[in-house]
Amino acid sequence: MAGETTKCEAICLRIVPWSRTSHIVTWLTPTGKVTTVVKGAVRPKSAFLGQYDLNYRCEIVYYLRATRELHALRDCAPVDGREALRGDYRKLLLAEHFRRLVFDQAPSGPDAGDWFDLLDGSLARLVAASNLQSEMLAFELAVLRLAGLSPELEAESGAFALRGERKIPVTPQVARCLKSPLLIKYQDSLADALRVIGVFYAFHLEGAPDTRRSVLQMISTTEEGRGIRNG
């Protein structure tokens, strides 16, 4: 209700400048996205300095405004800063991909709690992840499931259903990888599975396929610069 303060946990999805010293921050909470104004966020003596950043899970208190979508942030304390992500640009890039998908697809209301848990758990796992392709595939499949768009897999016949009667032929190995993307024994099929999911996304979700392709190319490059096959 407008005029009340709300306290909850939230994941920082997006930060944009609002003025020379303030930010507009969009959060994912267990009840949906919340956008707040953080006045004086970058002033030297601001109480908000170091208290939030992209990927942070925080405890926030904000003041509800009735006539605006922008609410006023009153307090913020970091719960998990996921500092380890900052040392790997590929993980940061993949985390941005995760946040963008959630920003575009997550609903408001009770169902948002599942999206909050998905993003929170995926970012936590990403901190220690060694295979970023499998993390990307697992997250994208979970997004489709929460959006009610789980692909229909027919592993035995090697078919992957799209909209209507259209199907993409896939090998049984790729179908099994799509069912269990984090299992090591299916890793050889990751590139093909990610390519199939990219086609599925293009059919069923509004998005930026070129951006996804760039993310996949970057996370599929080793530290030495050697490329791994991707779609």
Residue 226's pLDDT is what?
38
Residue 230's pLDDT is what?
41
| Cβ atoms of residues 141 and 122 within 8 Å | no
CA distance 12 to 41: 14
| Cβ atoms of residues 8 and 60 within 8 Å | yes
Distance from chain centroid for Cα 49 = 24
Residue 171's pLDDT is what?
82
Residue 203's pLDDT is what?
79
All domains of the chain in start order, with CATH: 5-83 (2.40.50.140), 85-219 (1.20.1440)
67's CB contacts (< 8 A; 6+ apart) are 2
Residue 2's pLDDT is what?
53
Residue 162's pLDDT is what?
60
Look-up of token digits 């170091």: 50
Mean pLDDT in consecutive groups of 10 residues from the start of the chain, 231 residues: 82 96 97 95 94 97 80 96 93 97 92 97 95 96 90 60 68 84 84 89 79 93 45 39
